[in-house]
Amino acid sequence: MTLKNNSMSDVDTTSLLGVSSELFSIVNIITLPAEANYSHQEFLNVLLHAATSSTNSLESASNDLRSKIPNIRIPSADTIFNYIKSNSIGNILSSFRKINNEIFEMMNLKNAVHDIAIDFHDKPYYGSRDTPCIRGIKPKNGTSWGYSFCTLDIIGNSKLTLDVIDIDGLSKDYSILMNSLFERVENMGVKVGTVYMDREFFNKKVISKMDEHKLDFVIAAKSNKRIKDI
C-alpha cells in the first residue's frame, strides 16, 4: 500500500536532537524536585537517547549511555521515573504540545499531506482500582486495570506524534475523542491524507466523523458474521 505522505524525510537527526534539547530546557517539560541529584540536561540526555536510538526503554537507554560514555553522570531509569512522577501529567502534556509545535514548524511539515495513525495504548496498573485515571483495559500481565492513552501520529517518511490524550473515564466517548483529535490537527495546520486505525475504532461514531470531515480512512474490521458474508 502506498502512503500519501509527501512530507520532508531528510531531517538531520543531530540538529533535531540539539534543537529538541534546547526546547526542553526552555519550556521546562518537567520540574526537577529540590533534592534532585542530577541536572535537567543530564535527565534529558537519557530521555532523548531513549527516543531516538534502538533502545526500547529508559532502563536500556540509561545502561547504553553508561557503557558508551562512562565518564559522564547518567541517571538511572528509576531516578528519571521518580522525577517525572513528581510532576503533573497535565503540565507535562501542555509542555509537550508547545515543543511539538516548534518541531512541527522546524521540520517543514506544514502545507504537506500526511497520513496519520490513531491508536490506543494501555499501561497495566496493579494498585487500587479507585486511583484517579485508572480504567478497565484488556487483561494483560495479571491485571485488567490500567492507564489508557490515545495517540495521533504522522506516519510515512516523516514521523511525529502530534498529540497524546489521556482516556480517564470508564468508557470511551468516540465522538468527543475524534472531535478533540481533529481540532488538534486543524490547529497545527496538518493536511490529512489517509487516516489509519485499528479495529477498536470500527464503530458508527468514528466512521460518521470520518465522513463528516471528508477523510479517506482505513480501519481494521472486527470479524463477525456480516463482515464474513461481505
Same structural domain for residues 132 and 84? no
Range of the domain at 167: 111-229
Q: And the C-alpha cell for 124?
A: 497495566
Q: Cα separation of 4 and 113, whole Å?
A: 7
Model confidence, pTM:
0.71
Could you tell me which residues are beta bridge partners of residue 113?
Answer: 191
Instruction: Mark whether 77 and 162 lie in a shared domain.
Output: no
Residue 4: inside a domain, yes or no? no
Residue listed under C-alpha cell 477498536: 200
The tally of domains found in the chain comes to 2
122: β partners? 148
Strands 191-197 and 113-124: parallel
Owner of C-alpha cell 489508557 = 148
> For residue 104, what pLDDT is reported?
81
Say yes or no: 137 and 224 in one domain. Answer: yes
Averaged pLDDT in 10-residue chunks for the chain of 230 residues: 41 59 74 88 86 81 90 91 86 83 80 90 86 83 88 87 78 82 86 92 91 92 80
* Length, in residues, of the chain: 230
The whole-angstrom separation of Cα 213 and Cα 103 is 26
Report whether 81 contacts 58 (CB < 8 A): yes
Strand 216-219 and strand 191-197: pairing? parallel
Determine, yes or no, domain membership for 100. Answer: no
Report DSSP state, residue 227: H
Residue 72 lies in a domain: yes
Do 223 and 181 belong together in one domain?
Answer: yes
Q: Are residues 74 and 135 in the same domain?
A: no
